[in-house]
Amino acid sequence: MDLKLEQKVAIVTGGSKGIGAGVVTSLLAEGACVVNVNREGPEGPELGRQHDPTGKCYRFIAGDLCDLATCKRAIDETVAQFGRLDILVNNAGVNDGVGLDAGPEAFLESLQKNLLHCYALVHYGLEELKKTRGNIVNIGSKVSITGQGNTSGYAAAKGGINGLTREWAVDLADDGIRVNAVLPAETWTPLYDKWLKTLPDPESTRAAIEASIPFEHRFTTVEELAAMVVFLASPQSSHTTGQIVFVDGGYTHFDRKCTAT
């Protein structure tokens, strides 16, 4: 299927690793131009060397998205280089374990890391998205639906993303801008691998998690998440908006009897 993304221009936040890198790679493979906004690090430039050696369709912008100036700069530099903005993928975030015991200041900081930049990027990029009748894909988390424990900040932020997805879909319908969210559950990323390796028995823990995933008893891959994001971002999904789509092998919604071991 031709996703009709040739020469479309996308911003992906947190696009250097994990799900974000998968989205960047998939968009480039479909012929889109991509701006990856992420903290400084070797992974961002390396993605360009691997997938766009000519440097024509990939741009890495290093910056902290907690700084609103970075959010505005990302929009301004994208339009300056590529002339337009068609797609905004709000992916950046971290499950920082800020629970009830952490206190209000830590909670506010967690919201800033996981939610504020989503609003800011849409705010600063809105006029450009209106010009192209573009679309927004927000990356959420099953935590917003299931809870997890000891992660109040992240859960609140991801719940906020669900709410904003529906709010913006209504708000921007008359402008032809579609807004959807993709929610992963247990997705195999370098960060997940790193966390498992801190545990006493990583292999047993991984096996137990996989057993709890109903479909094929395995982690979702980054490529599977990216495929859904890119489809929703494409004109082939032209009448889909306000949707919260789970790509999780049935983890979030299947009856618990399906995951019992």
Segment 1-53, tens digit of pLDDT: 899 999 999 999 999 999 999 999 999 999 999 999 999 999 999 999 999 99
Q: Say which residues have a Cβ less than 8 Å from residue 152's Cβ, sequence separation at least 6.
A: 98, 99, 100, 102, 107, 110
Q: With cut-offs at 50, 70 and 90, classify the pLDDT of residue 256.
A: confident
If residue 76 lies in a helix (H) or strand (E), which one and from where to where?
Answer: helix 68-82
With respect to residue 31, please indicate whether it lies within any of the assigned structural domains.
yes
Structural domains counted in the chain: 1
What secondary structure does DSSP assign to 122-159, as a single string?
A: HHHHHHHHHHHT-EEEEE--THHHH--SS-HHHHHHHH
Please indicate, yes or no, if residue 200 is contained in any of the structural domains.
Answer: yes
2, part of any domain: no
DSSP state of 36: E
Query: Interhelix angle for 222-233 vs 18-29, to 10°?
Result: 50
- The verdict on whether 124 is a catalytic residue reads no
Active-site residue, from 119, 154, 192, 251 = 154
Q: How far apart are alpha carbons 123 and 9 in whole angstroms?
A: 17
What is each CA distance from 254 to 87, 90, 140, 188, 207, in whole angstroms?
A: 32, 27, 19, 20, 19
Residue 258 confidence (pLDDT): 75
* pLDDT at residue 261, rounded to an integer: 60
Report the predicted TM-score, pTM, of the whole model to 2 decimal places. 0.97
For residue 169, being part of any structural domain is answered with yes
Average pLDDT in the 111-120 region? 98
Domain carrying residue 199: 9-258
For 233-254, the pLDDT digits (tens) are 999 999 999 999 999 999 999 8
Parallel, antiparallel or unpaired: strands 244-247 and 9-13: unpaired
Do the domain assignments include residue 251?
yes
In a domain, 29, yes or no: yes
| CA dist list (Å): 107 to 104, 153, 207 | 5, 5, 32
Better-predicted residue by pLDDT, 58 or 256: 58
Q: What pLDDT, on a 0 to 100 scale, did the predictor assign at position 260? A: 66
**Residue 182 belongs to a domain with what CATH number?**
3.40.50.720
- pLDDT tens-digit map of 31-41: 999 999 999 99
Domain assignment present for residue 54? The answer is yes
4 lies in a domain? Answer: no
